[in-house]
């Protein structure tokens, strides 16, 4: 299983062994809006989730801090998520992108999420340092498409379940097991959903006046006809 090297803000290097990777879906804080969207998608043939929120277990080896993401074809796109990572004695929060194959997603969400590596930034915060003002945090994503860089997603973390509530949905005891990394939901897309040559994600803390970021380029592999 991968051991990833991070910088813990204000403290220095941090090595985290990740044995389990989970993508949380349908994590909106407004349950009524989530159920309404599920019904909308069901009308166009998208199978509803078995539970809300739901959790997709992925191979831990998909997690990467690399600046280059290689994907098959050009049917994938990124989306900003805050990422919880449990160490042996502390919980950390980072920023990542649930890069997903959108063509495959139309018929199998689980497989679509396994199709692409999951980028995560190399700097993290202690969750305890932001827990008291969690709802003030801001999420942003920029996409570069056809050479043009534009804001792609933006919103407060309040649109998503509080991390402590999300963890309790996954584990009733309310603790994320050491060695677990969990992507925790995203923001609505500004404009058209779709791929690009590069994505940049940012989690901003206006209280402590700091941000963690990650940028990566996307390379489409040649696929034999």
Residue 97's domain is classified under what CATH number?
Answer: 3.90.850.10
What DSSP letter does each residue of 5-60 carry, written as one string? EEEETTTEEEEEE--EEEEEES-BS-HHHHHHHHHHHHHTTPPPPSSSSEEEEE-G
The yes-or-no verdict on residue 60 having pLDDT over 90 is yes
> 68: pLDDT confidence band, cut at 50, 70 and 90?
very high
Confidence of residue 42 (pLDDT cuts 50, 70, 90): low
Residue 207 pLDDT exceeds 50: yes
Poorest-confidence range of 112-116, 122-126, 189-193? 112-116
CB 18 within 8 A of CB 180: yes
In this predicted structure, what is the pLDDT of residue 74?
Answer: 81
User: Is residue 76 scored above 90 in pLDDT?
Assistant: no
Domain extent at residue 139? 3-221
**Residue 44, pLDDT above cutoff 60:** no
Confidence (pLDDT) at 172 = 86
* DSSP, residue by residue, 85-137: EE-SS-EEEEEEE--EEHHHHTT-HHHHHHSS-EEB-SEEEEHHHHGGGGGG-
- The H-or-E segment that residue 181 falls in is strand 180-183
165: pLDDT strictly greater than 70: yes
Minimal CA–CA distance to 120: which of 69, 154, 167? 69
List b or e across 11-26, with b for residues whose CB sees 16 or more CB atoms inside 10 angstroms. Answer: eeebebebebbbbbbb
Q: What is the pLDDT of residue 40?
A: 56
Average pLDDT over residues 122-136: 98
At 223, the pLDDT band (50, 70, 90 cuts) reads confident
Mean pLDDT value across the chain? 91
pLDDT in tens, 83-120: 999 999 999 999 999 998 877 777 777 777 888 999 99
In whole angstroms, give the CA distance from residue 63 to residue 127. 20
Q: Is pLDDT of 173 > 90?
A: no
CA dist 136 → 5, 34, 95, 223 (Å): 27, 22, 15, 44
| Predicted pLDDT at 51 | 85
User: In whole angstroms, what is the distance from residue 8 CA to residue 174 CA?
Assistant: 23
Burial of 176 (0-12, 13-18, 19+ CB in 10 A): buried
The residue written with tokens 């969750």 in the block is 127
Across 58-62, 69-73, 208-212, least confident range: 69-73
* Number of domains the chain contains: 1
Write the Ramachandran bin of 87: left for phi over 0, alpha for psi from -120 to 50, otherwise beta.
beta
pLDDT attached to residue 1: 64
Cβ(47)–Cβ(163) below 8 Å? no
pTM greater than 0.85 (yes/no): yes
């Amino acid at each position: 299983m991968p051991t990833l090297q991070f910088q813990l803000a204000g403290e220095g290097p941090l090595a985290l062994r990740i044995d389990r990777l989970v993508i949380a879906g349908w994590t909106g804080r407004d349950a009524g809006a989530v159920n309404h969207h599920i019904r909308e998608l069901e009308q166009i043939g998208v199978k509803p989730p078995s539970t809300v929120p739901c959790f997709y277990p992925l191979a831990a080896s998909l997690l990467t801090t690399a600046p280059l993401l290689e994907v098959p074809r050009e049917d994938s796109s990124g989306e900003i998520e805050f990422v919880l990572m449990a160490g042996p004695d502390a919980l950390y929060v980072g920023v990542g992108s649930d890069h997903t194959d959108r063509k495959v997603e139309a018929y199998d969400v689980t497989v679509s999420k396994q199709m692409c590596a999951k980028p995560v930034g190399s700097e993290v915060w202690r969750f305890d340092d932001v827990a008291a003002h969690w709802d003030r945090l801001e999420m942003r994503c920029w996409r570069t498409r056809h050479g043009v860089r534009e804001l792609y997603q933006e919103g407060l973390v309040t649109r998503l379940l509080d991390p402590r509530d999300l963890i309790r949905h996954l584990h009733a005891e309310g603790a994320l097991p050491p060695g677990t990394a969990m992507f925790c939901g995203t923001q609505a897309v500004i404009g058209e959903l779709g791929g690009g040559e590069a994505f940049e994600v940012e989690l901003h803390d206006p209280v402590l006046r700091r941000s963690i970021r990650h940028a990566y380029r996307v390379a489409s592999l040649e696929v034999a006809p």
